[in-house]
Amino acid sequence: MRNFLLVLMAVWALVACGRKEPPQAWIDKGEPYMENLELISAGPSKKMMVTLAGGEGGVGYQLERAEMDPYCQCPTAWSPYHEEVPQRKNQGKALERILRFEISGHYYLYRVRAMDALGRLGAWSQTLKQEAP
C-alpha cells in the first residue's frame, strides 16, 4: 500500500505541476526608448509629443516634475507627475500631454522616460523647460 501511495504521489507531481504548453520563443526588443520627443507651443502651455519604441509587452512613460526654487534658481527634488501605463497600442504612436511651465508664479521643469510592461526603464530625457521670451 505504501509503494502504491508513493507511485500515486509521483504521478500526481509529474502531471499536475508545471506549464502545459511548449516553451515560447523569447524575442528581446531591448530596453524601451523614446524615438521622438518634441514640445509644441499651445498658448500659455506646451504640448509634449513623445513616440516610444523598443521594450517588451507594450510601452508607456513616466513624467516627473520639479519646481524651480526662486532663491537659488535651481530645481527642487523631482516628484512623479504622470504615468502612462505600458500598452501594446502605444508602440510607435505619438502620445500627447499638455504641460504647464508656469502656474501662479511658480516655474516647473519636466523630464520623461520610457518604460515597458516588464518594468524596464529607459534613460531620462533632457530637462524640459520654458525658453526665455
Report residue 14: phi and psi, to 5°: -70, -35
- Residues with Cβ within 8 Å of 74's Cβ and at least 6 positions away in sequence, in order, are 68
- pLDDT tens, 54-93? 888 889 999 999 998 888 888 999 999 999 999 999 988 9
- Residue-range domain boundaries for the chain: 30-126
- pLDDT at residue 95 tops 80: yes
Whole-model pTM: value is 0.73
Domain 30-126 bears CATH identifier 2.60.40.10:
yes
